[in-house]
Chain A
């Protein structure tokens, strides 16, 4: 065993229900500080629900979630969230800088004025993600990979140390996915904690050091190679296929977003 870093996110017996539907069943797990973790599983396995639970916006049916030692609501400044790229309208009249500026909104509150420090954080975030020269461009005029980097820059500008990414690879071409892999690896070297919902198991293997495999309940949790053993994949993905009668690809490669 390697010497384990402190735990930053802890789930203890967490269950989440939407009406009669159980989205997460009795999940207990620990995410080490500075790790990069892929949240894996078939559609409907609770990947997005798990991220929302960390954000504290999902009421729990039972159990508890803590960030450091705090309730998620009190840990909000530490959390940076990156929604799915397809969730926004890229025709929206806004520039790259306009989107990255939004990362500062939570700290500014309703009427606080953005100061020089905020502008520096926004510039630094765009610089880090290599989009500073695109700052004044309308966001439709970007490639898929550049759009993803705008969202990542907004998350960096929030100033947190825990990053929650919802399907960051979906809709990216090969080049965009490779670019994102490099960025996420660099983040984990810098000690940032990354938790990402991913449905492509091949990408998960190449990009993340740890995995959490879900099938509403927790199937496996640990180093990515152990989590993605054939037996575990079978356990997580086969049940969904039997129940829904759908030919869901176990590898998840090429799955529609």
Chain B
């Protein structure tokens, strides 16, 4: 197979151009968001959040059909309900926040699966869960572009607030920062990106596009800005490569992207010169 077959032939298809562009746009914003998820130790919460979007999306589909806007708001409402609900549960009852989140998201996910099993037959549950690049329509592309733009703009404008709130929330608060607002804005951006990535990546796998590039970058970088940039670069590279592989190998697109990024992550975890496993096994980096 020539390079032409590998790279140019897929671009001849409209759906592949859309899929690649959508993956690239969400790779940029997902790479940024992932860094904050990793550094604030919210990785598992992000995973739970992504699962909880399903009932919102399914309900929107049942009520309004294939409208991207409806799916988007359905997912947004379900995600925010889970986040707010678990915050309330942990304040008002004895249950701690992680248990509250874990319990709520699994209930939401179950509800989502139940709703989808009632949907008209032409819809495939696995497309929702694991992504199907064939399903990326023009309106999905607009949504991905908009969400990506908003995320990048938020990181540029509020860079200092995001850095302070991620590194040292107490100092941020002491200097008059609005920690709660930054956190809420961050959760909203995460939900927006998860919903936008649903078509290409699937609900279950979308978080991989955020998390894996960030945690790989974390292994290589000792500065916040360089971690952000490396994470974005890895997300771009891994997502586009994954989409191409899914085309040639006939794989679910979300799975192909996550596998590509997974190889990068495992390679980084082993080989990173300062923070990798091989270095630690040789006794180089004292913890």
Interface 1/0 per residue, B215-236 and A, CB below 8 Å? 0001001111011000000000
* The one of A89, A93, A108, A154 that contacts B221, using a Cβ cutoff of 8 Å: A93
Q: In the complex, which residues of chain A have a beta carbon less than 8 angstroms from the beta carbon of B163?
A: 102
User: Are A87 and B170 in touch, CB under 8 angstroms?
Assistant: yes
Name which residue of chain A comes closest to B226, CB basis: A93
B175 CB contact (under 8 Å) in A88, A95, A105:
A105
Residues in chain A near residue B166, CB distance under 8 A: 92
Given contacts A81-B171, A83-B168, are A106 and B223 in contact (CB under 8 A)? no
Best-buried of A55, A84, A89, A92 by chain B (most CB within 10 Å): A92
We find that the number of chain B residues with CB closer than 8 angstroms to chain A is: 23
Given A93-B221, A93-B222, verify A83-B161 contact (CB < 8 Å).
no
Check A110 against B157 for contact (C-beta < 8 Å): yes
Q: Are B160 and A108 in contact (CB under 8 A)?
A: yes
Interface contact A89-B164, CB-CB below 8 Å: no
- B224 CB contact (under 8 Å) in A76, A89, A98: A98
In the assembled complex, the Cα of A225 lies from the Cα of B282 at a distance in Å of: 53
On chain B, the residues within 8 Å of A95 by CB distance are 222-223
A138 within 8 A of B: yes
Q: Closest chain B residue to A57 by CB distance?
A: B173
Set of chain B residues within 8 Å of A57, measured between Cβ atoms: 173-174
Chain B residues with Cβ under 8 A from A88's Cβ? 167-168
Number of residues on chain A facing chain B (CB within 8 A): 26
Most buried by A among B163, B170, B175: B175
Cβ-based interface call for A243 (8 A): no
Cβ contacts under 8 Å, A83 to chain B: 168, 170-171, 174
Known A57-B173, A108-B160; judge A93-B168 contact (CB<8 A): no
Known: A76-B176, A102-B164, A105-B160. A94 touches B171 (CB 8 A): no
Main secondary structure of the interface of B (DSSP, over half): helix
Number of A-B contacts (CB under 8 A): 63
Residues 197-227 of B contacting A (Cβ, < 8 Å): 218, 221-224, 226-227
Chain A residues in 8 Å Cβ range of B157: 110-111
Task: Decide yes or no whether B42 CB sits under 8 A from chain A.
Answer: no
B168 touches A102 (CB 8 A): yes
**In the bound complex, do residue B39 and residue A92 qualify as a contact, i.e. CB atoms below 8 Å apart?**
yes
Kindly state whether residue B64 has any CB partner on chain A within 8 Å: no
Q: Which residue of A lies closest to B217 (CB)?
A: A93
User: What is the minimal beta-carbon distance from B193 to any residue of chain A, in angstroms?
Assistant: 22
Asked whether any CB of chain A lies closer than 8 Å to the CB of B158, the reply is yes
Take A81-B174, A93-B221, A95-B223 as given contacts and tell me if A110 and B160 are in contact as well, using a CB distance cutoff of 8 Å: yes
Give the A-binding residues of B (Cβ under 8 A).
39, 157-158, 160-161, 163-164, 166-168, 170-171, 173-176, 218, 221-224, 226-227
Q: Give me 14 A-to-B residue pairs in the complex whose CB atoms sit less than 8 angstroms apart, sorted by A's number.
A: A57-B174, A76-B175, A76-B176, A81-B171, A81-B174, A84-B170, A92-B39, A93-B218, A93-B226, A98-B223, A105-B175, A106-B175, A110-B160, A154-B171
Which 6 interchain pairs have the tightest Cβ spacing?
Answer: A81-B174, A138-B222, A83-B170, A106-B175, A93-B227, A105-B160
